[in-house]
């Protein structure tokens, strides 16, 4: 499985231009297709869901064109039911395409088959089908009752009258009926049975229908009257707003990571209900500002979000972001009235509970609620995304808690926001890393320690980890050539660093790991792929605020490839041998200059030739030759590069 590793972040600030709204994009495409005339759609969302709708419309006889590589499209409407009367449509996991097309096709007098990915076949559609059958539509289930795939047959449609549809499972069922009913040509009424969830999404539908010339009379949220004798007519040009649900991740980043973070494309004049996510953030203490076409979020004055107990029925998609924001609150948080999560791209209540527990939260899961108690310290974790774009985007925010997070299957964001992680990277500030690489005995450790002290950063002596592995293996009688056995030792290594001392199972081994035997052993085990894999995450966990100086081989190429400053520190073999000789003599340890020099030459050759991450200067690393430098000069060189 593909994955994306996000480093721990110090905070977030900046500005993001949002992609178009998925809900508005697919509604607009369908209305433009059914309308008379040509419609120029500006800023259409580029995503998998929209591509499924575009493919389906073309298969149904609707002509459309794209203006070059832009997000502007021209749709030539068919002025009524679809002209193609037979089609087999695959709609992926695009609910905003599947549900409305089902209704429009059921009233088009043709024979159609609609299918999707396995998860789409688990998402209920029975309430919509029941409503269409009340109109006389011929809709059959091809597998499980109440679920796609569907077979739509030509049928005699009963014009007018009242259609009843449940409103407590998905608002998309009501949206689909409302958008399709003008095709009957007579006045029709839709009555909602039970509580209508996600009312703001119905408001979007009504607003867009009105722009295409059909005014629906709404009687509360229980009764909707679609007039007779009306046709959709193109408004000429229509602009797609930025996606308010997508805005939630960046606004939450501003509230969690300090801010300010400003999103452009939605604001106080938006027709999307998810802009009310900003109100929810404000109740958590976030500082919110809003204009006609922008929203900005900053962290609370106190720096920490307040615990909350909120009914989130009106913003079900954006509410997922609040579930992750709860990790940064000052107490347990309750998300209520979110039953619709169960029938989304995945069972989002169950998925969210599972993944929140991975990072340390205590979670209570109910039929229509979650209670999230944040941990004292977030844990690094690999997050499964369930082929659900919102799971991937939500959990990117965990990195703002100062721990690394792995997002499995990050490409699932293509459903609505293909460039999400690039945009997130533009506003998030990773914990900085200074990677100092170079051959053995080049002075990496001394320089790194002094640089870390000067900056107040953590310091990682990666070489010590490999030396400890070699020492532990030798103590256990394990051959240093036994890849798997040494890797098992590395994975459970009882090592710690305290006050400049290196401890193995509580024993101070600071001097022992510097012996020639351990130095040679470290070079040998460092060439073992399984050992390197076992120590990789352990090294990355040293990356904590305010920053890290990481010294050792492959720090800038393998362990921290995104390090802002990379130094390749070297010196001649003779200079390095002389320094090592002096170190050992000062500690009262036996040493032979000739043997040291021979050992360094052999180790340099071995490190440069190894198949796994061979020792070499990276193209983006600064070369620092310390042959003629003292320690102060070398430290000054590195600090100068960092500060510049």
Separation between Cα atoms, residue 319 and residue 393, nearest integer Å: 13
Do 223 and 253 contact (CB within 8 A), yes or no? no
- Backbone φ and ψ for 587, nearest 5 degrees, come out as -90, 5
Which of 439, 392, 378 lies closest to 249, judged by CA?
Answer: 392
The CB-side HSE value for 498 (13 A sphere, CA atoms) comes to 9
Angle of CA points 253, 337, 283, to nearest 5°: 40
The DSSP 8-state label assigned to residue 242 in this structure reads B
Q: Which residues contact 206 (CB under 8 A, 6 or more apart)?
A: 178, 216, 218
Identify the residue whose tokens are 């990682």.
460
Residue 317 annotated to the active site: yes
- Backbone φ and ψ for 196, nearest 5 degrees, come out as -85, 120
Strand partners, 188: 226
SS3 502: strand
Do 127 and 103 contact (CB within 8 A), yes or no? no
Options 48, 317, 604, 607, the catalytic residue: 317
Which of 101, 154, 147, 102 lies closest to 120, judged by CA?
Answer: 147
Do 515 and 534 contact (CB within 8 A), yes or no? no
Q: Which residues contact 190 (CB under 8 A, 6 or more apart)?
A: 131, 162, 163, 164, 165, 174, 177, 178, 181, 223, 224, 226
Pinpoint the alpha helices (H) of 344-461.
348-358, 389-395, 420-427, 444-455
| Cis status, amide bond into 546, omega within 30 of 0 | yes
Which of 465, 451, 617, 622 lies closest to 547, judged by CA?
Answer: 451
Q: Which two tokens stand for residue 364?
A: 């209570």
Q: Which residues contact 636 (CB under 8 A, 6 or more apart)?
A: none
Which of 266, 308, 260 lies closest to 287, judged by CA?
Answer: 260
Separation between Cα atoms, residue 17 and residue 332, nearest integer Å: 33
3-state SS of 38-81 is EEEEECCCCCHHHHHHHHHHHHCCCEEEECCCCCCEEEECCCCC
Catalytic residue numbers? Answer: 317
């Amino acid at each position: 499985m593909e994955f994306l590793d996000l480093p721990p972040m110090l905070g977030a600030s900046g500005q993001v231009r949002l992609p178009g709204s998925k809900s508005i994009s697919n509604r607009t495409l369908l209305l433009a297709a059914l309308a008379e005339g040509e419609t120029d759609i500006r800023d259409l969302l580029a995503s998998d869901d929209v591509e499924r709708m575009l493919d389906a419309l073309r298969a149904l006889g609707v002509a459309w064109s794209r203006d070059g590589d832009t997000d502007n499209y021209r749709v030539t409407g068919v002025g009524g039911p679809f002209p193609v009367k037979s089609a087999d449509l695959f709609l992926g996991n695009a609910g905003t395409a599947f549900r409305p097309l089902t209704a429009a096709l059921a009233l088009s007098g043709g024979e159609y088959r609609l299918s999707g990915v396995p998860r789409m076949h688990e998402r209920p559609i029975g309430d919509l089908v029941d409503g269409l059958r009340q109109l006389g539509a011929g809709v059959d289930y091809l597998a499980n009752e109440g679920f796609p795939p569907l077979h739509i047959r030509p049928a005699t449609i009963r014009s007018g009258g009242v259609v009843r549809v449940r409103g407590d499972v998905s608002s998309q069922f009501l949206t689909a009926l409302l958008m399709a009913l003008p095709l009957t040509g007579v006045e029709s009424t839709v009555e909602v049975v039970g509580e209508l969830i996600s009312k703001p999404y119905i408001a979007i539908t009504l607003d867009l229908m009105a722009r295409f010339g059909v005014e629906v009379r709404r009687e509360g949220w229980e009764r909707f009257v679609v007039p007779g004798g009306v046709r959709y007519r193109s408004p000429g040009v229509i602009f797609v707003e930025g996606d308010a649900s997508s805005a939630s991740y960046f606004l939450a980043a501003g509230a969690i990571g300090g801010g300010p973070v400003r999103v452009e494309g939605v604001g106080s004049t938006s027709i999307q209900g998810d802009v009310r996510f900003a109100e929810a953030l404000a109740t958590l203490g976030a500082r919110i500002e809003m204009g006609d076409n922008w929203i900005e979020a900053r962290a609370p004055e106190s720096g920490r979000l307040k615990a909350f107990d909120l009914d989130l029925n009106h913003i079900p998609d954006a509410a997922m972001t609040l579930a992750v924001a709860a990790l940064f609150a000052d107490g347990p948080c309750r998300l209520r009235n979110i039953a619709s999560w169960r029938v989304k791209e995945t069972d989002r209540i169950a998925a969210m509970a599972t993944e929140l527990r991975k990072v340390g939260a205590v979670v209570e899961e109910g039929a229509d609620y979650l209670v999230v108690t944040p941990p004292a310290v977030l844990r690094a974790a690999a997050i499964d995304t369930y082929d659900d774009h919102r799971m991937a985007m939500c959990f990117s925010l965990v990195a703002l808690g100062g721990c690394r997070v792995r997002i499995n299957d990050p490409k699932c964001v293509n459903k609505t926001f293909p460039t999400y992680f690039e945009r997130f990277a533009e506003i998030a500030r990773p914990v900085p890393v200074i990677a100092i690489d170079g051959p053995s005995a080049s002075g990496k450790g001394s320089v790194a320690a002094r640089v870390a002290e000067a900056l107040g950063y953590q310091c990682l002596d990666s070489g010590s980890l490999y030396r400890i592995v070699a020492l532990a293996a030798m103590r256990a009688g394990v051959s240093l050539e036994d890849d798997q056995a040494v890797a098992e030792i590395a994975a459970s290594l009882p090592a710690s660093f305290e006050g400049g001392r290196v401890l193995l199972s509580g024993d101070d081994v600071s001097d022992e790991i510097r012996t020639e035997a351990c130095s040679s052993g470290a070079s040998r085990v460092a060439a073992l792929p399984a050992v390197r894999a076992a120590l990789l995450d352990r090294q990355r966990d040293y990356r904590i605020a305010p920053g890290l100086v990481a010294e050792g081989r492959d720090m800038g190429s393998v362990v921290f490839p995104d390090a802002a400053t990379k130094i390749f520190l070297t010196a001649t073999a003779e200079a390095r041998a002389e320094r090592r000789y002096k170190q050992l003599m000062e500690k009262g340890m036996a040493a032979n200059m000739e043997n040291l020099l021979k050992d360094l030459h052999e180790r340099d050759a071995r490190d440069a030739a190894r198949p796994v991450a061979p020792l070499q200067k990276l193209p983006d690393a600064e070369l620092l030759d310390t042959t003629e430098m003292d320690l102060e000069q070398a430290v000054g060189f590195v600090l100068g590069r960092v500060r510049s």
